[in-house]
Amino acid sequence: MDCCKKKRVKKVAKRKSEKVIHLDPDALRYLRFRIGGKYMAERHMFLKKDPSKENSIIVSNIPAFVGEGVVLAIIDQFASFEVEESFVQRSNTADNSLSQGQLTMSITFDKPEAVIQTLALCQDVGPFTITDFLEDPEFPSVLKDSTTLYRKLFPSEEQIQEMADTYVERYDTEQTEARKEAKRKYSEPDEDGWITVTKAKKAAKSVKLKKEDVPLIGGLNNKKKKVDLAYYTFQIKKNRQEKAQELLKKFEEDRKRITQLKQARNFKPI
């Protein structure tokens, strides 16, 4: 993401070396801050040791417009350790956009004592003012974003045509190369020396004679077609029972359906 321009203000933090703190590894620590200017509400960032990664902490509830660099600068005020790696993990927005909402980032230090000191001191320092770390504090807004985005929707006709021609030309090139590659497979041996064999035209199909066209082709021993009649008594009974069962099943389904309708009738939305 694009970070805001940085402005480092050197502050000397008073270190209390005599303080002894026993930290719960799963404890959630907070860091007080505010935006600055007319935005003076007290806010909390939350810091926690990252159990899945060595020498790492997780910082959460970071406003997206604050930026990654400002967070690092704030931590440097009371824990001046070299940062090996830092990145934004996720956002709490519905569309997972890292330019909106509240961010969660991960910071990895070189030394393990950096984690200890950061978590130990973060609740006692501050509150920090975000605008102190920005040379030109300007926050994004919906109006600016929407008007800017609108302007991008209207490239000139020449640009549209150029983009279309460029893409289609590249697409045609890729298609041509793919076609050539496929053709080469059938004419040149591959690394193992094999050549792909394709289907050739088949010979004309032989004419198959149907039984009906040639009399007595099957001989005189054709089996009689089975007549679907209830010839035996048990078959008659079985059919009657099946019909009765179907009728009962249908009745039960009807009764169930009517019961549901009646229950819905008595239902009140609130």
Partner 1 sequence: METDGDVLPMSNAFKLLCEDTAPKSNKKLIEKQRQIAQKIKNVLETSKNGPKIQYKNLDFWTEFDVKHPLHHLQKAVDATSSSIPEFQWTPPKSIVITEKGQQIFIEIPPKALGNRDFLNLTYAAKRGHFACHVARLLSGKFEKVEFTAGGAHRDDPIFADILVDGVRIGFYCPELAKTKRFAPNIGNLRPATIFEDLFKETEIATPKFNQRMLWSILELEIAQEMEKELKAQKTARLAIFLLGNFFENRHLQHAITPIILTARVVRLVKNGKITENQEILTVLRVIFEDFITWSADDVEFVDSVEDDVDVEEYSQLFDVNLVWKNLNLASNLTKNYMERMKKELTICYPLLGQVYAFDPIFIEKLPVFAHYDHVARLHINISQLAEHLVEFGIDSIDNRDVIHKFVLSFEHKIEQTMSERYDFVGIHDISSNAEKSTWSLSEYPEKYRQKTYLIGFRSTSGWKNPLTVGPPAQTNDAKEFRELWKETSELRKFADTRICECVVWSEKPSEKVPRAVLQFVLQKMFSLPATCFSWRALTSSSTSAEADQQHEKKSQEAVFKAYTDLSTVLRGLKGLPLMITNVHGISGYLRGSEPAYPSVFAATSSTNKSSEDQHYVLPEIGKIPLFTPTVTVHIKLEYSGKWGNDVEAIRRLTSSFYVKIAERLREQHKLTAVPTIDQLFILKSGIVFKIVVVNDRILTILEEDVQKLKDSGASRIESSIQGMRLSMWKKKFISEPLLQLSLQSFSTSHKFFGSTVQLFKKWLGSKFLSGHHLNDHIIELLVVAAIGKKGQVPPQSTWSSFCRLLSLISTHPWSARPLIVDFGTKGFSEDERSKLEEKFIKMRPILPPMVVIYEEDHLGSKFTRENPQGIVLNRLVAVAREALKMMEKQAFGEKSIEMETSLLTENLSPYDAIINLEPCAVVRKKALMERKPPAETSKFRQKIPVVELDPVDELVYQLNNSFQQVAMFFYNKYGGHHIGVMFKPQEDEVPAKISRCSLHKSVSDSTLRLNRDEILENIQILGQGIVSDVQLKKQ
Q: Does the protein bind partner 1 through residue 151 (CB under 8 A)?
A: yes
CB distance 107 to 135 below 8 Å: no
User: Quick one: which of 3, 21, 28, 195 contacts partner 1 (CB under 8 A)?
Assistant: 28
CB distance 108 to 84 below 8 Å: yes
Q: Does the protein bind partner 1 through residue 141 (CB under 8 A)?
A: yes
Number of residues that bind partner 1 (CB under 8 A): 65
Secondary structure (H, E, C), 109-170: ECCHHHHHHHHHHCCCCCCEEHHHHECCCCCCCHHHHHHHHHHHCCCCHHHHHHHHHHHHHH
Q: Does the protein bind partner 1 through residue 36 (CB under 8 A)?
A: no
Q: How far is CA 176 from the centre of its chain?
A: 34
The set of residues, in sequence order, having a beta carbon less than 8 Å from that of 39 and lying 6+ positions away, is none
Q: Does the protein bind partner 1 through residue 175 (CB under 8 A)?
A: yes
Q: Does the protein bind partner 1 through residue 143 (CB under 8 A)?
A: yes
Q: Does the protein bind partner 1 through residue 154 (CB under 8 A)?
A: yes
Binding segment toward partner 1, per CB under 8 A, in 6-14, 67-75, 213-221, 250-258 = 250-258
Kind of pairing between the strands at 128-129 and 29-34 = parallel
Q: How far apart are alpha carbons 140 and 155 in whole angstroms?
A: 23
User: Quick one: which of 88, 93, 108, 116 contacts partner 1 (CB under 8 A)?
Assistant: 93
Q: Please report, as ranges, the residues that interact with partner 1 according to CB under 8 A.
A: 27-28, 30, 35, 39, 41-44, 46, 48, 58, 60-61, 63, 65, 92-95, 97, 100-102, 104, 139, 141-148, 150-151, 153-155, 157, 160-161, 163-165, 167-168, 171, 175, 250-251, 254-255, 257-258, 260-265, 267-270
